[in-house]
């Protein structure tokens, strides 16, 4: 296993694509693109990729904690579950070369370690991996290959600090009152979940893949309706499902599920009118280096830039609370640091900031209240 290191846009992806002997061995940051698109269950996806032995499937899946989702559609998996399925699937497609270009960032550290052990056990494989979070697994034996140039080679520049021109003076609260939720009336993903969030603070929600973090974000934003329980804003019941995105802005885990406009300018809400909202958006666009690309289709930009676009678009909407699901995906440590500074400035300005991440380094730099999602409940995080 070799790790290719380097800054954002230093040429790693071009190098990896050039050395890939056949296109199936290259996997990028969004696992959805590497699913077959024709299998209706995880089991079928694996069979399609060459897993014929039921025992082999169940051993691999249970070791990675995926045995519970065997009969689920691959498209309904959580971000990390999808990345794991993508990785396991391509183990059968090749017997020598595997390339993972930031494919593993959304996998929790326990499963990531197990996945690396599994890949290592295929001794004949030549695996090349890019992962900006790899030093969060310090015990992993690394072979660094191709130390790329320190400075980005592309026109895309680093994210810059941004002045927050808004501030919210009154403290507000959001209370989760016994929220319970299940998909298709199966297992409760959230189970009497309770918590009170306050504006002006940063919260980080951690927890294993599939524990329900993004599900909670979707309920607070109004994409999903809770099965039971209430959400209270400043003590009054609200129904986000009936007026989505009014109290909470949500930056999706996968930016491609959030982008819906044909140009970057439209996605950010840029219009010809000059007012303070437009000034705020332009300010954000400059800091995320998007101003040059207003007329471009978002999908012409690389994944790292699409992630920045959706962060900027979420912040541009200026709801009092924001939930950022894996905001530093595909961002090198320097850019992650600037995103962190931005979130700290937002909280200082009085916004409520909720970050969902598997990156312990990012959590440490935010100095937040840390919560853990486990067994459908949010609990204060204690220890490791
Ligand atoms: N539409 C759906 N239908 C059925 N099950 C679903 C659906 N969406 C998500 N799930 C399941 O619900 C569980 C919780 O998913 P969720 O996306 O909230 O997890 P998560 O904590 O965000 O995980 P990750 O760290 O991988 O992002 C997962 O096991 C997932 O497979
Ligand atoms: Mg998630």
Q: What is the pLDDT along the chain (384 residues), one digit of tens a residue?
A: 888 888 899 888 888 888 887 766 888 998 888 888 899 999 999 999 888 888 888 888 898 988 889 999 999 999 999 999 999 988 887 767 889 999 999 999 999 999 998 888 887 788 889 999 988 987 777 777 766 655 556 778 899 987 776 777 788 999 999 999 999 888 999 999 999 999 999 999 999 999 999 999 999 999 999 999 999 999 999 999 998 888 999 999 999 999 999 999 999 988 767 677 788 899 999 999 999 999 999 999 999 999 999 999 999 988 999 999 999 999 999 999 999 999 999 999 999 999 999 999 999 999 999 999 999 999 998 765
CA–CA distance from 238 to each of 214, 222, 297 (Å)? 20, 10, 36
Ligand 1: which atom is nearest the Cα of residue 81?
26
Residue 126 Cα to chain centre, angstroms: 27
How many CB atoms within 10 Å of residue 141?
7
In this predicted structure, what is the pLDDT of residue 209? 97
Question: pLDDT value at position 152?
Answer: 58
Other beta carbons less than 10 A from residue 125's beta carbon? 16
Using the mean position of ligand 2's atoms as its centre, give its distance from the Cα of residue 61 in Å: 19
Which residue's CA is minimally distant from atom 11 of ligand 1? 77
Torsion region of 352: left, alpha or beta (phi above 0 gives left; psi -120 to 50 gives alpha) = beta
Q: Which of 189, 205, 254 to mutate to test the pocket of ligand 1 (most atoms within 8 A of CB)?
A: 189
Ligand 1 site-directed mutation target among 40, 180, 181, 183, most atoms within 8 Å of CB: 183
DSSP class of residue 246?
Answer: S
Q: Considering only CA atoms, which of 11, 208, 24 is closest in space to residue 100?
A: 24
Tokens 């993903």 found at: 189
Determine the Cα–Cα distance for residues 108 and 357; give it in Å rounded to an integer: 9
Domains of the chain as residue ranges with CATH: 2-147 (3.40.50.300), 173-380 (3.40.50.300)
Question: Is residue 249 within 8 Å of 321, Cβ to Cβ?
Answer: yes
| pLDDT at res. 110 | 92
Torsion of CA 355, 356, 357, 363, to 10 degrees: 30
């Amino acid at each position: 296993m070799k790790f290719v290191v380097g800054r954002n846009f230093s040429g790693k992806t071009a190098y990896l694509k050039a050395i890939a002997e056949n296109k199936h061995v290259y996997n990028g940051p969004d696992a959805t693109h590497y699913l077959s698109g024709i299998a209706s269950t995880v089991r079928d996806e694996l069979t399609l990729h060459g897993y014929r032995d039921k025992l082999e499937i169940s051993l691999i899946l249970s070791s990675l904690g995926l045995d519970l989702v065997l009969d689920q559609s691959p498209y309904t998996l959580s971000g990390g579950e999808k990345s794991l399925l993508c990785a396991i699937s391509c183990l059968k497609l090749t017997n020598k070369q595997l390339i993972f270009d930031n494919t593993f960032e959304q996998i929790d550290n326990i499963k990531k370690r197990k996945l690396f052990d599994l890949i290592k056990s295929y001794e004949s494989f030549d695996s090349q991996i890019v992962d900006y979070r790899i030093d969060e697994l310090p015990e992993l034996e690394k072979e660094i290959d191709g130390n790329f140039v320190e400075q980005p080679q592309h026109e895309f520049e680093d994210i810059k600090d941004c002045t927050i021109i808004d501030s919210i003076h009154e403290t507000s609260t959001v209370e989760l009152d016994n929220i319970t939720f299940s998909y298709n009336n199966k297992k409760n993903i959230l189970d009497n979940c309770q918590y009170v969030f306050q504006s002006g603070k940063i919260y980080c929600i951690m927890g294993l893949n599939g524990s329900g973090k993004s599900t909670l974000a979707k309920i607070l934003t109004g994409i999903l309706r809770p099965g039971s329980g209430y959400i209270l804003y400043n003590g009054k019941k609200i129904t986000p499902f009936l007026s989505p995105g009014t109290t909470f802005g949500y930056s999706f885990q996968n930016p491609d599920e959030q982008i819906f406009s044909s140009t970057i300018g439209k996605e950010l809400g840029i219009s010809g009118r000059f007012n303070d909202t437009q000034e705020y958006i332009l300010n954000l666009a400059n800091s995320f280096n998007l101003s040059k690309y207003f007329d471009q289709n978002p999908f012409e930009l690389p994944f790292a830039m699409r992630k920045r676009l959706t962060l900027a678009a979420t912040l541009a909407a200026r709801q009092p609370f924001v939930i950022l699901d894996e905001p530093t995906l595909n961002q090198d440590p320097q850019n992650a640091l600037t995103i962190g500074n931005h979130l700290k400035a937002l909280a200082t300005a009085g916004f409520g900031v909720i970050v969902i991440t598997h990156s312990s380094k990012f959590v440490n730099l935010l100095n937040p209240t840390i919560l853990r999602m486990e067994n459908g409940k949010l609990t204060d995080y204690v220890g490791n």
